[in-house]
Amino acid sequence: MTSEKNSRGMIAVDKKGVKVLFLNPATYETEVVLEGFPRTVHELLVVPDTGLAYVPIFGNGIHGRNPNPGHVLCIIDLTKRAHVGDIDLRPYIAPHTLKLGPDGLIYITCENSAVVAVIDPETHKVVDAIDSGSTNGHRLIISPDGQRLYTENEEDGTVSVIDLPKRKLLGKIKTPRPLAGIAISADGRTVVAVDDAQPVLFLIDAEAGRVRDEVVLKDVPKAAQIARYAPDNSLIGITSLNSDTVSLVDPSFRRQTAIKVGSQPMDMAFRGDELFVACQGDGSVHVIDIPKRCAKGSFRAGAGCESLGFF
């Protein structure tokens, strides 16, 4: 996702409305609405270099209660602003978080199948599946050097460690409580796992394979949800769906600021010195001034967006 101010476009995944939206990146007006998706669209991967974005169909439920899991990854053309195709992931089901690896392949958690599916973006075919060790593996992150992939296994209270070049599960790191989100530092040495029971971050020593510290989120009364590093790794954004806050946390974890946003904030997108927070509870997107560490405005986008990005 671009961090430049002069982005050509903005895309948002309206989970509540089951739509994909294209917004004007300057005025934030909704310009194109894509409809007709199965329930329900969840997350988002934008690949500006290829002019494509990918949106998984997770199923009609939520994590842990998804009786009709999906099996499709939708392909969105960013130039045509159109839904141009689908990737059928079967036999793997309940696709959720997806990332582009340094090797150019797409990796996506398929929760109910306990695998990370591997997709070749040139052929749009599933080329492999890696055992994740848990049907609670919801989100994933890839180390900057491409050597390790980590999944946070929510109720298990574990993080799975995968050797990415060998596509092999190496083991699991135990955390004190269940998890809700995951991120990784620029040097790959610290995995940040979000506590799903308390407003705490678990800092995992990637080399030692253990939790080395816990960081309490200040002015955040309830557990947080999603963690995302800025493209330049200058800070980490942490949303708390149940506290209606986003926290700006320095990479040293010594300074943090909680900022009130809309209802049920979820994922975020960085652009220049701004952070955009999608609030699925009330259909708002809040814009955070990063240098001033305060909210600078908000706008409406769909019924309730979970993810957004720039290109």
Q: Tens of pLDDT along 267-281?
A: 999 999 999 999 999
Query: Please, which pLDDT band fits residue 6 given cuts at 50, 70 and 90?
Result: low
CA distance 70 to 30: 27
- Tell me what the mean pLDDT of segment 120-124 comes to: 97
Provide mean pLDDT across the span 101-126: 97
**pLDDT tens digits along 49-104:** 999 999 999 987 666 666 778 999 999 999 999 999 999 999 999 999 999 999 99
Residue owning tokens 């050797």: 163
Place 7 in a pLDDT band, splitting at 50, 70 and 90.
Answer: confident
- Which pLDDT belongs to residue 208? 98
- Rounded percentage of the chain residues whose pLDDT exceeds 90: 94
Query: What residue ranges define each of the domains in the chain, with the CATH number in brackets?
Result: 10-310 (2.130.10.10)
Q: How confident is the model at residue 170 (pLDDT cuts 50, 70, 90)?
A: very high
What's the Cα-to-Cα distance from 305 to each of 4, 23, 116, 277, rounded to whole Å?
Answer: 22, 12, 24, 9
pLDDT of 59 reads 86
